[in-house]
A and B are shown apart, each in its own frame.
Chain A
Amino acid sequence: MITTEFLTHIHLFSFPPHLCLSLTEPDCGRKQKLAEIHQALISDPVDIETLRRAAASKGGLLTDELRRKVWPKLLSINVFELPHKPGRDVRKNHKDYNQVVLDVRRSMKRFPKGMPAAERAVLQEQLIDIILEVLKGNPQLHYYQGYHDVAVSLLLVVGERMAIAMLDTLSNFHLRDFMDPTMDRTKHILNYLMPILEQVDTELHDFMIRAEVGTIFALSWLITWFGHVLSEFKHTLRLYDFFLASHPLMPIYLAATIVLHREKEVKQTECDMAMVHHLLSRIPQDLPYELLIGQAQDLFDKYPPSLLAKRAALQSRKSLSISTFQAFQRSTLHQRPDSVLQRLTKAHGSDTSRHGLEAALPRDRGQLWGRGNRMVKMAVWGLSATLGAAVFAVAQTAMDWGPEVLLQLF
Chain B
Amino acid sequence: MAEGGSSVEFSSSLANSNLPPPRTRIFKIIVIGDSGVGKTCLTYRFCAGKFPEKTEATIGVDFRERLVEIDGEKIKIQLWDTAGQERFRKSMVQHYYRNVHAVVFVYDVTNAASFRSLPAWIEECKQHALGTEVPRIIVGNKCDLQESIQVGTDVAQQFADTHSLPLFETSAKNPNSQGEGNCGGGNSDHVEAIFMTVAHKLKSQKPLVLSQPAEGSGGTINLSRGRDDGGDGARSWACSSC
What residues make up the interface of A, taking CB atoms closer than 8 Å to B?
99, 102-103, 106-109, 142, 144-146, 148, 181-184, 186-188, 190-191, 193-194, 209-210, 212-217, 219-220, 223-224, 228, 270-275, 277-278, 281
- Please tell me if the beta carbons of A142 and B7 are within 8 angstroms of each other in the complex: no
Q: Are A145 and B63 neighbours in the complex by a CB distance under 8 Å?
A: no
On whether A145 and B59 interact (CB within 8 A), knowing A109-B54, A187-B4, A214-B7, the answer reads yes
A394 CB to nearest chain B CB (Å): 21
Please determine whether A107 and B7 come into contact, CB atoms closer than 8 angstroms.
no
Q: Which residues of A contact B63 (CB under 8 A)?
A: 274, 277-278, 281
- Could you list which residues of chain B lie within 8 angstroms of chain A, going by C-beta atoms? 3-5, 7-13, 16-19, 21, 26, 28, 35-36, 54-63, 65, 78, 83-85, 87-88, 90-92, 95
A-B contact count (CB 8 A): 116
- A181 surroundings in chain B (CB, below 8 A): 87
Whole-angstrom distance between the Cβ of A95 and the nearest chain B Cβ: 11
Q: In the bound complex, what is the Cα–Cα distance between A383 and B91 (angstroms)?
A: 45
Chain A facing B: main interface SS: helix
Q: Provided the pairs A106-B54, A183-B87, A274-B13 are in contact, do residues A216 and B92 lie with their beta carbons within 8 angstroms?
A: yes
Q: Name 15 A/B residue pairs within 8 A (Cβ), A-sorted.
A: A102-B35, A106-B56, A142-B87, A145-B83, A145-B88, A183-B91, A212-B11, A214-B8, A216-B8, A217-B60, A219-B59, A228-B59, A272-B19, A273-B11, A274-B28
Closest beta carbon of chain A to B54's beta carbon, Å: 5
CB atoms of A212 and B10 under 8 A apart: yes
When distances are taken between beta carbons in the complex, the residues of chain A under 8 Å from B83 are 145
Q: In the complex, which residues of chain A have a beta carbon less than 8 angstroms from the beta carbon of B59? A: 145-146, 219-220, 223-224, 228
Complex Cα distance A106/B7, Å? Answer: 31
In the bound complex, residues from chain A placing their C-beta under 8 Å from that of B7 are 190-191, 193-194, 209, 214-215
Q: Decide: A220 and B60 in contact? CB cutoff 8 A.
A: yes
Assuming the contacts A224-B59, A228-B59, asked whether A187 and B91 have C-beta atoms less than 8 A apart, the reply is yes
Q: Are A271 and B4 in contact (CB under 8 A)?
A: no
Complexed CA–CA distance, A293 and B12 (Å): 34
Name the CB-closest residue of A to B54: A108
Given A187-B4, A271-B18: A228 touches B56 (CB 8 Å cut-off): yes
